[in-house]
Amino acid sequence: MVLKIYERLDVQVDESEKYATLTLPFELRQKSRLKAQLDDATEVGLILSRGELLRGGDFLRAENGLLIKIIAADETVSTVTHKEPIMLLRASYHLGNRHVPLQISESWIRYTHDHVLDDMVIGLGLDVICEQAPFEPEGGAYGGGHGHSHSHEHTHTHAH
């Protein structure tokens, strides 16, 4: 029997509570409908609201009340570094122009490994390493996947 999961918790969970874990790569954490296995091999079916992005550390509640913590799986990524922050900004600009999902920190940027993108970034003068690490890209300008929303009401006046 497949355990169904309908609920993503938007509140902090006391991590001293008992919970199961579900380790998924970024590609699968974007899906709202998914058949998977918890880390203890229990079969589960995710049936979440469309457009929900799961992040490492998020909690879900199964139909039987079981708490499930999402773990961001290690995956093959390219991590870019440079001693000058302006160079990371430059690389982010060029990768963003190619609509590449990026994880951004103060000292590095990361994307799903792609040798063509690696060559481009190296050509810009940055260092790139291919490694296994969790991938948590930015959710985008419209709140995609940050678990909260912002009002973007604007008032426009036009002089004619």
Q: Which residue has the higher pLDDT, 2 or 144?
A: 2
* Band of residue 158 on the pLDDT scale cut at 50, 70, 90: very low
Q: What region does 31 belong to: left with phi over 0, alpha with psi -120 to 50, or beta?
A: beta
Quick one: 10 and 61 in the same domain?
A: yes
Domain boundary pick from 72, 94, 113 = 72
Tell me, yes or no, whether 107 lies in a domain. Answer: yes
Q: What is the pLDDT of residue 145?
A: 45
Round to whole Å and give the CA distance between 113 and 46. Answer: 27
Quick one: 68 and 7 in the same domain?
A: yes
Tokens 């918790």 belong to which residue? 9
Per-residue pLDDT tens digits for 28-81 = 999 999 999 999 999 999 999 998 889 999 999 999 999 999 999 999 999 999
149 has pLDDT over 60: no
Burial of 132 (0-12, 13-18, 19+ CB in 10 A): exposed
DSSP-derived pairing of the beta strands 103-104 and 20-24: unpaired
DSSP-derived pairing of the beta strands 74-81 and 109-112: antiparallel
Quick one: 7 and 66 in the same domain?
A: yes
Q: What is the pLDDT of residue 139?
A: 81
Quick one: 25 and 64 in the same domain?
A: yes
User: Sign of the CA dihedral 128, 130, 136, 141?
Assistant: positive
Q: Which residue has the higher pLDDT, 148 or 91?
A: 91
Quick one: 32 and 51 in the same domain?
A: yes
Tell me, yes or no, whether 144 lies in a domain. Answer: no
Round to whole Å and give the CA distance between 100 and 118. Answer: 12
Per-residue pLDDT tens digits for 81-91 = 999 999 999 99
Domain hosting 88: range is 74-134
Mean pLDDT, the chain, as a whole number?
88
